[in-house]
Chains A and B, each alone.
Chain A
Amino acid sequence: MAFREYKIGSRMFAFALGSSMMITLYFPSKDIASVQATKTALNRQLSFGRIGGFSVEDPFLKGKGKPVTVFLNKDPKTGQPIEPVTAYVYPAGVPFPSGLRHPRILGEGVKDLSLGQGRIADAKEGSGAVFVVSEAGFNGKTLSYIENATATRGWQPGEAVAAAGDANSRYIGSGKIMFVREGCWWCHTLLPEETQDWQYFGAPPMLGDFNGESPTAFGSDRKAPDLLHVASRNSSREWMTMHFYNPRLVQTHSIMPRYDYLWGEKDAAGNKIDYDKWRAEYNEYVAGKRVYAPEVPQPAAESEARMLIDFVLALK
């Protein structure tokens, strides 16, 4: 028997499935593609880099190939004091986020300003670049756009990192990799809901807040507080450090896992971390045999814990 006798059925099937794909894929993609990127979206994608999950440049999710976010209060080229500015440093070879590779996705206006005044088309991944988010008028409205500071101000990636120093550098993009790899988003959503979350977790995101970001990692199964604005509620690096090492040091009833393994071999002072000793002392503390919990080691500058804390403290 051939399929011939099912000619009507197979055409009906193609029509039915085709129509539903038209409505659920084509129309929404037209709508979403026309969304204008907000300032939040520009900051997010510039600090996260190209992809927040598996990628060719970072196949084992170690936080490689990601930009460094720096806070500058002097011009890295001339050394003159300037208005404090957040700059996104892409050393040579670090892939650019989607908004720079495909400016079309930034939406009307933002695209034109970024390409025109921002000169983002001049930035090359091979030689690296420094970006800032600036504002300008477009058709009577003030819009944020991406400025290629390497072209407009002559800032070089190496100079910008050196001018900021480690204290003013944040590994936010690498931290997002940790957030995805360690599965933080299985419990912590990044999406205050549009109905009842306003008071407690802050404003829900806007339509254009995610242009250029992948994955968005909204999360669906909330077992813990929403984190989209967590740093606005709690910006203490000390609290975060203790909380990641062992959440029950700061929140007795927390069911969050310990992330002490992100500290790696050595602490900030270069001393080897003795996990067994720490855990034994913590158990004594829990059993009431010690008055104070053992001291949490400070994470080393290059440690994964530092990256993750940088990411979480950037969620404002």
Chain B
Amino acid sequence: MLKYLFAKEEDIPPGTAAIFFGFSSIVWFVLGTGLGSFNAAKLAFPDFVTGIELISFGHMRQVHVLAVILGWISMAFAMTMMYITPALGNTKLWSEKLGVWNCFLWNIGLAFGLFLLWNGVSSGREYSDMPWFIDLVVIFGVLFPLGINVWMTIKNRRTQGIYTTNWFFGAATFMVIVVFLVGNMPEFFNLTGLTEAYLTWWFAHNVLGLWITPVAAAISYYVVPKVTGNPLYSHRIGHLHFWSVVVFYSTPAAHHLMSAPLPEWLKSFASVEGVLILVPAIAFVSNLLLTMHGKWRMFVENVEIKYTITGVLLAIPLNMQGGFQQTRAINWYVHGTGWIVAHAHLALLGFSTFLEAAAVYYGLQVLLRRKVYSLSLSNFHFWMLLIGFSTYWISMTIAGLIQGAGKIYEVPYIDVVIAEHPYMIARWVGGTMVFIGNIVWMYNMWMTARAGTPIPAGRLPHELAYER
């Protein structure tokens, strides 16, 4: 990588930045899920490595969250943007060199930020835990260069229209910068009180709603038609998805603070808008599932489609939960319980991760011109992820319902802790399965680069038979 940082633009092979981003994202995924598994072990067995500041739960929990969001998910996004945006514009990436620098600064900045966070240098605001100078690095060293590359590539396209995926990419890279700038204002300007509390959740909500969800969906708008060979079922429904994300998903931030003393009109408004999240969700899911028409055998036979469609199917329970759990009728029961933790993992580890994993699998094969090293290991990775995640989700949902019952029946809290214990162990088992699956994935992709079957020019990876 270092040799490309100071190379001339024309000397850098196309796809270099995407490959670096792809492998970086996998490494961060392994680190992030490893930390998650370790944290889960501490919740299940509190005296498992204890009494040391740097490996106490409170120092590591936020490192897990941000390593996964900014390392795995966002870097996988950057990887897909670096190869899908030019491919859909029938052109080259605007600047491969900027992309390589972007990847370099991203890794350095994130590693430094997480190092500080691990040592306790925190702003004390959930999801925007990084101190403000790291936020500035993220905005101007990471997100802005990424946005420039995406916007300029779209501008220099050699196609007449802009495909759905690229609307989302162009808009989401812009919106995430706005979200970071506005959401971190409490740190930049020392805003206090409910303004700080509200903006913390405004940020957390919109990072999910205007960055992670739309970009993950945009990826599958590319992968499914590309791999199945079917055209997208409907561009109109794609329009509906895009506009309803911008209008409905950007407004319900206050539903995260449903039981806090915010103005009542704001909570009611957020709750109504929150239900309307079902509009983009239904548009997205139906569009993708209808695109699969006549190609459903690929759901079994093809790894990328298996991942993508699993992610799309997981969007159904995700949005059914998300749309309704934030209404006053339900929120009072599940607020602040493990149910929400399960829901967050359904969004990031279920829905989103499966879509990105497909795109990283597919993209690395295309860019390296090599067929994935082992189908068996890919399938192993898939099932470890799916079974591990399901174990986690089911156990935390049950734990959340126990907590909710404990809350309304005024059970002494320690009895809730005791009742949750088996589910804490199940959560640790599930998380560890995901972690092991990811180590296998890292090995598989490394071996793909080293020893995968070369793909002849003009062929796509999924057209070749697997050899192992």
Contacts and interface: CB of A to CB of B under 8 A. Distances in A.
A125 interface: no
A194 B51 contact: no
- Going nearest first, the 4 A-B pairs with the smallest beta carbon separation are A183-B58, A53-B124, A193-B259, A195-B332
Interface in B246-263: 246-247, 250-251, 253-254, 256-257, 259-263
Contacts of A191: 259-260
29 contacts: A12-B243, A31-B265, A32-B193, A32-B194, A54-B121, A54-B122, A60-B121, A98-B192, A180-B122, A181-B58, A183-B57, A191-B259, A200-B410, A210-B192, A210-B197, A213-B196, A215-B124, A216-B196, A217-B125, A220-B340, A221-B341, A223-B338, A223-B417, A253-B418, A255-B421, A255-B424, A256-B46, A258-B51, A279-B51
B59 interface: yes
A184 B124 CA distance: 10
A288 B293 CA distance: 66
A181 B120 contact: yes
A1 B57 contact: no
B51 A275 contact: yes
B198 A196 contact: no
Residue of B157, B186, B196, B266 with most chain A CB atoms under a 10 A cut-off: B196
Contacts of A97: 192
Contacts of A197: 407
A216 B197 contact: yes
Contacts of A23: 251, 269
Contact of A220 (B52, B126, B270): B126
Contacts of B123: 53-54, 215
Nearest to B159: A1
Contact of B413 (A219, A224, A259): A224
A207 B194 contact: yes
B56 interface: yes
Contacts of B336: 189, 193, 219-222
Given A32-B195, A214-B196, A258-B51, A17 B125 contact: no
A251 interface: yes
B131 A225 contact: no
B332 A253 contact: no
A59 B119 CA distance: 11
Interface string B183-210: 0001100111111111010100000000
Nearest to B337: A222
Interface string A171-187: 00000000011111111
A268 interface: no
A209 interface: yes
Nearest to A2: B155
A35 interface: yes
A98 B119 contact: no
Contacts of A24: 202, 250-251, 253-254, 270
A257 B418 CA distance: 16
B121 A61 contact: yes
Given A50-B190, A196-B407, A256-B46, A181 B122 contact: yes
Interface majority SS on A: helix, strand, loop or mixed? Answer: loop
Interface in A199-251: 199-200, 204-207, 209-225, 247-248, 251
B37 interface: no
Contact of A221 (B120, B193, B263, B340): B340
Interface of B: 42-44, 46-47, 50-53, 56-59, 61-62, 119-126, 131-132, 155, 157-160, 162, 171, 175, 178, 182, 186-187, 190-198, 200, 202, 243, 246-247, 250-251, 253-254, 256-257, 259-263, 265-266, 269-270, 332, 335-338, 340-341, 403, 407-408, 410, 413-414, 417-418, 421, 424
A285 B421 CA distance: 23
A207 B262 CA distance: 7
B124 A180 contact: yes
A40 B327 CA distance: 30
Contacts of A54: 121-124, 131-132, 187
B408 A1 contact: no
B120 A182 contact: yes
A212 B193 contact: yes
A183 B61 contact: yes
Contacts of A309: none
Interface in A47-77: 50-54, 59-61
A28 B253 CA distance: 11
Contacts of A253: 414, 417-418
Given A20-B251, A205-B261, A218 B192 contact: no
Nearest to A50: B190
A41 interface: yes
A243 to B, nearest CB: 12
Contact of A257 (B56, B157, B337): B56
Given A210-B197, A215-B125, 19 more contacts: A13-B171, A17-B250, A27-B266, A29-B195, A31-B266, A32-B193, A35-B193, A41-B193, A54-B121, A54-B187, A61-B122, A182-B58, A183-B58, A186-B57, A186-B61, A200-B410, A213-B193, A224-B413, A261-B51
Given A31-B266, A185-B124, A213 B46 contact: no
Nearest to B120: A181
A210 B191 CA distance: 11
Given A13-B171, A204-B259, A209-B261, A61 B120 contact: yes
B51 to A, nearest CB: 5
B193 A105 contact: yes
Contacts of B270: 24
Contacts of A162: none
B159 to A, nearest CB: 7
Contact of A196 (B187, B254, B408): B408
Contacts of A204: 259, 261
Contacts of A32: 193-195, 198, 262-263
Contacts of B119: 60
A301 B307 CA distance: 57
A260 interface: yes
Contacts of B332: 193, 195-196
Contact of A51 (B190, B243, B260, B341): B190
Contacts of A207: 194, 261, 263
A220 B256 contact: yes
Contacts of A205: 260-261
A16 B243 contact: yes
Nearest to A17: B246
Nearest to B344: A221
Contact of A183 (B59, B182, B335, B338): B59
A193 B407 CA distance: 10
Residue of B46, B178, B202 with most chain A CB atoms under a 10 A cut-off: B46
Residue of A6, A60, A183, A211 with most chain B CB atoms under a 10 A cut-off: A183
Nearest to A205: B261
A50 B407 CA distance: 34
Contacts of A211: 192-194
Contacts of A255: 43-44, 46, 417, 421, 424
A222 B250 CA distance: 26
